[in-house]
Amino acid sequence: MIKLVGISKRYNKESVAVEDIHLSVDAGEFVSIVGQSGTGKTTLAKLLIAEERPSKGRIEIGGWDITHISQGDIPLLRRQIGVIFQDFKLLPNKTVFENVAFALHVAGERASRVKEVVPLVLDIVGLGHKMRSLPTELSGGEQQRVAIARSLVHRPKILVADEPTGNLDTVNTQEIIEILKKINEFGTTIVLVTHNREVVNQLKKRVITLQNGRIISDEHIGKYRL
């Protein structure tokens, strides 16, 4: 599903974000990428969604070599890879329904399709009853759930979550992780980038640890040991 071969990302001679990364993730896996701040976790996530391009190496997503993906093909890639960020990136003047629907409108989906899909994904994240609310009327955890719903509208094969609980308290963090586990049970591959030791150790899933831009451990039932 995901294959990185000899991936390096250098911004200049002094700034190396990731170095010689070799990594394979199978369809349906739940993988946590961990490491201290500045180890290259977010750069790795950005490489997967083609927000950054590698300086060296090859990236394949579902057999598609995206190493030198054209700008025009990026929207197609983003329909296969859902993305969740630490900051929710919601449109403040649009309702929950409209925020989720926006991703479908941009892709040119029919109005009938939008009306069908949006309630479904909002029900998955437990927000079907808040479709008409504005983001300012929601808690931080609810806003992140809207962002997750928005990431699911194209039925992505992969979900990349970059510090999705970074701005949340313990209760909301647990709710978001449970939703990610449920999405994974549907067969979606999850790549979770996090510094949250408790979350990683509770998951008991595969853990890839980065240090100084390199993978220093890859455990299939791992812990956050740094």
Task: Spell out the domain ranges in the chain.
Answer: 2-219
pLDDT digits 0-9 by tens, 19-77: 999 999 999 999 999 998 888 999 999 999 999 999 999 999 999 999 999 999 998 89
pTM reported for the whole predicted model: 0.92
Side chain identity at residue 12, one-letter code? N
What is the CATH T-level fold of the domain 2-219, as seen in this structure?
A: Rossmann fold (3.40.50)
Percentage above 90 pLDDT, the chain: 81
Q: What is the pLDDT of residue 225?
A: 67
16 band by pLDDT with thresholds 50, 70 and 90: confident
- Whether the pLDDT of residue 86 is over 90: the answer is no
Partners of 35 in the β-ladder: none
* From 13-17, 98-102, 131-135, 138-142, the region with the lowest mean pLDDT: 13-17
Q: For the chain, give the mean pLDDT.
A: 92
Q: What is the pLDDT of residue 120?
A: 95
**Residue 213 pLDDT level (bands cut at 50, 70, 90):** very high
CA 123-86-224 angle, to 5 degrees, is 100
Q: Between vectors from CA 60 to CA 58 and to CA 66, what angle results, nearest 5°?
A: 75
Give the residue, 168 or 221, on which the prediction is more confident. 168
The residue type found at 5 is V
pLDDT of residue 79: 87
Residue 89 has pLDDT above 70, yes or no: yes
At residue 226 the predicted structure's pLDDT band, cuts being 50, 70 and 90, is low
pLDDT band for position 194 (50/70/90)? very high
Calculate mean pLDDT across residues 164-178.
Answer: 92
What integer pLDDT is reported at residue 220 of this predicted model? 86
Confidence band of 15 (pLDDT split at 50, 70, 90): confident
β-strand pairing of 2-10 with 56-61: antiparallel
- 43 near 34, Cβ under 8 Å? no
Write the DSSP assignment of the chain as a string of letters. Answer: -EEEEEEEEESSSS-EEEEEEEEEE-TT-EEEEE-STTSSHHHHHHHHTTSS--SEEEEEETTEE-TT--GGGHHHHHHHEEEE-SS----TTS-HHHHHHHHHHHTT--HHHHHHHHHHHHHHTT-GGGTT--GGGS-HHHHHHHHHHHHTTT--SEEEEESTTTT--HHHHHHHHHHHHHHHHTT-EEEEE---HHHHHHHTSEEEEEETTEEEEEETT-----
Q: What is the mean pLDDT of residues 209-215?
A: 94
Separation between Cα atoms, residue 118 and residue 95, nearest integer Å: 12
Residue with structure tokens 């449920």? 182
| Residue 223 confidence (pLDDT) above 80 | no
Pairing of strands 16-25, 189-193: unpaired
- 146 vs 99: CA distance, rounded Å: 8
Q: Once rounded to an integer, what is the mean pLDDT over residues 127-153?
A: 95
